[in-house]
């Protein structure tokens, strides 16, 4: 007698529509672009680090990015899944309340959110780490619903 297997139903992931917001990208670019914040928002952490350490490639890369933001936004919209967890809200929570772990709680990472709350973002190191993984935290939360 052989075992019968049943297919597992999975919710289809939606990629159509906007996950990231162009207006938020431009605000991040205008105020913090010389430090690469908009590049982290659009999941480009390596170039974000380069912008951070070179002050936006001495300002030249910062100016060029004004024209590249719509393309970076489109790439992010095609890469990440839409869902109940909003990327822009998660990034705003991270930016303003990240050391308290509020963004992790918003992404259903309650344990690490509480750890961040009790340790001031794991003494700031976890907060820095989240610059690199923030989009993936939200993507994982959207795929788990």
* pLDDT value of residue 45: 96
Q: What is the pTM of this model?
A: 0.84
Q: Is the pLDDT of residue 37 over 80?
A: yes
Copy the structure tokens of residue 87: 């990327």
CA distance 53 to 45: 12
Kindly tell me if the per-residue pLDDT of 22 is higher than 90. yes
Percent of the chain predicted with pLDDT > 70: 89
């Amino acid at each position: 007698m052989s075992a019968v297997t049943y297919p597992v139903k999975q919710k289809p992931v939606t990629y159509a529509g906007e996950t990231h917001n162009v207006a938020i990208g431009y605000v991040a670019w205008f105020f913090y672009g010389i430090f690469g914040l908009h590049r982290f928002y659009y999941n480009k952490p390596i170039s974000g680090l380069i912008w951070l350490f070179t002050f936006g490639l001495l300002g030249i890369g910062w100016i060029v990015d004004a024209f590249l933001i719509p393309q970076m936004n489109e790439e992010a919209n095609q890469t990440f899944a839409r869902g109940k967890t909003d990327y822009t809200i998660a990034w705003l929570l991270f930016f303003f309340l990240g050391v308290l772990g509020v963004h992790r709680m918003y992404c259903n990472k309650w344990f690490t959110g509480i750890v961040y709350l009790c340790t001031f973002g794991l003494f700031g190191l976890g907060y820095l780490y989240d610059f690199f993984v923030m989009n993936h935290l939200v993507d994982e939360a959207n795929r788990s619903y």
